[in-house]
Amino acid sequence: MASLKKYCFLFAFVLAISIFFNNGTATEEEEETEAIENIPWLTLSLSSLLPSQTCTPFKGLKKNSSLELIQRHGPCSELKHGKANPKTIPTHFDILSEDQARVGSIHFMLFENFSHGNMKQLDSANIPVKLGLPLNTASYIVTVGFGSPKRDLSLVFDVGIEFSWIQCKPCLVKCYNQKEPIFDPSKSSTYSQIKCGINICSQILSTAKYQECPGSTQTCIYKSAYSGTSFSAGFMSKETLTIGAGNTFKDFLFGCGQNNQVTKLGGAAGILGLGRHPISFVQQTANSYNKVFSYCLPPSTSSVGHLTFGSAGVSKNVRYTPITTIPNLPTLHGISITGMIVGGIPLSSVTPKLSSSRAVIDVNALITRLPPSVYAVLRSQFRRMMSMYPMASPFVVLDTCYDVSRHQKIAIPKISLVLGGGVKIDLDASGVVLGSGPKQLCLAFAANAREDDIVILGSVQQKTIEVVYDLNAGKLGFGPPGSC
């Protein structure tokens, strides 16, 4: 009994000495361990990030002004348009390479002035290149109705393009292959062409990348060129447009393309332009939708999202940040990104650089691009918190990849973006990482080439988040992850 008391006394003495020298605090190693244990983790399975052969239908459109949003190379698109040709389905490498083209084009547009040249004909030899945004990155397809009687056509929607067009018969020069039959204006009772010499033609002519009023036809002709070798040229026209369950718009202005060269639109019939311009779809339908639209990008290629027009049904959980205008990029929607939070820890050192950088939101740029100094801090923090997984080889522009072949479920630190006005976006797990293979995933962010390149908030970071564009109020809203 005496020896036990002696042992207890000795243990208490040693413990007291330990506490005295540590001043009652944990060691740095213990603090770091505690910090990691307190990280807000997101869990997912790698299979959820990889392509599936089964389409998961949308739970239900919000209202009659909603359209199903389908990824152009997923199984949902195959069900709608027939089985896809495996040779035309892009690989992960292809998609990331195309993403580089989109990013490069946005950066080029910001710093360069364009010269449209002098084009006299509809032939492709006179269509300029390296103008505007590339179309080969177009990812999401919606279906709208053209004409009377209505013909359903699949269009790529793009928030950075101001001008809508479709392919039209008789395709005087050239049309590319599309899934549905090409629209025939002669079979619609509500189709008309825009004539030269009227005010609306002048407004349109100031919009297209190039335009003219040739004396032989007296018809207003548009010529829109995009980055690379893609273009569309044809007649400016009016037609009845049908959205959702019977919402019709008479005299909708669009391009009826007679010479179209686009190689990667996934069989879509044309473009639905939702950019910031007086003749974009958003502006033309302002009396009905008050310049408001929203979308939910699906978490994977095998699921369906929605594109909705109008403010009815917008969640009360949406938080808004101001929309800004970027010089040389007036059709894009500018935003202010002021901070980042990784695993619950604010990256305070990146705030000054982010706050001083210009930024845009884009639906067809894939991954978010950050200034190199900001990305370096994000990468370092993410790697520290993911140290339980062995690293894998970089994949195209993604340099922080992991071998997760031994895991059914993967834990990743939660990442949040802070926008102007203190708005915080909590990213979904599918917005933090990309599956680059059956056993590998990568951090879905990348560095810009230069510190002064514009920051781009890509589509991956917007997945499962209700994104609301209120152009009338000049604000952009974001719901919580999984909100749609």
**Euclidean distance between CA atoms 436 and 421, whole angstroms:** 35
Is 38 inside any structural domain? Answer: no
Residue from 134, 140, 126 nearest 109 by CA: 134
pLDDT at position 55 over 80: yes
Whether residue 88 lies inside any domain: the answer is yes
Q: Is 137 in the same domain as 193?
A: yes
Same domain, 155 and 66: yes
Beta strands per DSSP E along 160-291: 165-167, 192-193, 210-212, 221-225, 231-243, 247-261, 270-273
Structure confidence by residue, pLDDT tens digits, 351-366: 999 999 999 999 989 9
Q: Are residues 203 and 320 in the same domain?
A: no
- Whether residues 412 and 459 fall in one domain: yes
The last residue of one of the domains, among 248, 275, 308, is 308
Domain match, 66 and 103 both = yes
pLDDT of residue 62: 60
Please, are residues 224 and 122 in contact by the beta-carbon 8 Å criterion? no
Q: Cis link prior to 149 (omega < 30° from 0)? A: yes
Active site residue 362: yes
Examine the domain organization and report whether 302 and 320 are in the same domain: no
- Report percent pLDDT > 90 for the chain: 53
The pLDDT of residue 82 is 53
- Listed in sequence order, the DSSP H helices in 213-340 are 281-284, 286-289
Give me the mean pLDDT over the 431-457 stretch.
93
Domain annotation covers residue 104: yes
Instruction: Give the active site residue among 99, 158, 428, 470.
Output: 158
Indicate whether 57 belongs to any domain.
Answer: no
Question: Measuring CA to CA, which residue among 100, 330, 110 is closest to residue 228?
Answer: 100
Within-domain flag for 408? yes
**Domain ranges, residue 84:** 62-308
Domain identity same for 299 and 372: no
Does pLDDT of 116 surpass 50?
no
Q: Does any domain span residue 382? A: yes
Q: Are residues 304 and 388 in the same domain?
A: no
How much is the average pLDDT of 252-277? 89
Query: What is d(CA 232, CA 144) in angstroms, rounded to the nearest whole number?
Result: 19
CA distances from 267 to 78, 139, 248, 418 (A): 11, 12, 24, 37
Average pLDDT of the chain, as a whole number:
82
Residue where one domain finishes, among candidates 308, 338, 354: 308
CATH number of the domain where residue 462 is located: 2.40.70.10
Tell which of 286, 308, 330 closes a domain: 308
455 in any annotated domain: yes
DSSP designation for 340: E
Q: What percent of the chain has pLDDT over 70?
A: 79
* 466 pLDDT higher than 90: yes
Q: Does residue 226 carry a pLDDT above 60?
A: yes
Token pair 């033309």 is found at: 284
Reported as a single tens digit per residue, the pLDDT across 192-201 is 998 887 777 7
pLDDT in tens, 400-419: 999 999 998 999 999 999 99
Reported as a pLDDT band with limits 50, 70 and 90, residue 161 is: confident
Domain count along the chain: 2
Q: In this structure, are 261 and 159 located in the same domain? A: yes
Question: Which of the residue ranges 29-43, 297-311, 320-334, 336-350 has the most confident prediction, judged by mean pLDDT?
Answer: 336-350
Q: For residues 478 and 8, what is the distance between their CA atoms, to the nearest angstrom? A: 60
Residue 373 lies in a domain: yes
**Selected catalytic residue, list 99, 362, 426, 453:** 362
Shared-domain flag, residues 101 and 201: yes
User: Please, which pLDDT band fits residue 18 given cuts at 50, 70 and 90?
Assistant: very low
pLDDT on residue 138: 58
The larger pLDDT score, comparing residue 185 to residue 84, is at 185
Strands 345-346 and 359-361, sheet pairing: unpaired
Residues 66 and 115 both lie in one domain: yes
Q: Note if the bond before 134 is cis, omega within 30 degrees.
A: no
On the question of pLDDT at 115 being above 70, the answer is no
Percent of the chain that is helix, strand, coil (3-state, to 5): 25, 35, 40
pLDDT at position 53 over 60: yes
Same domain, 194 and 321: no
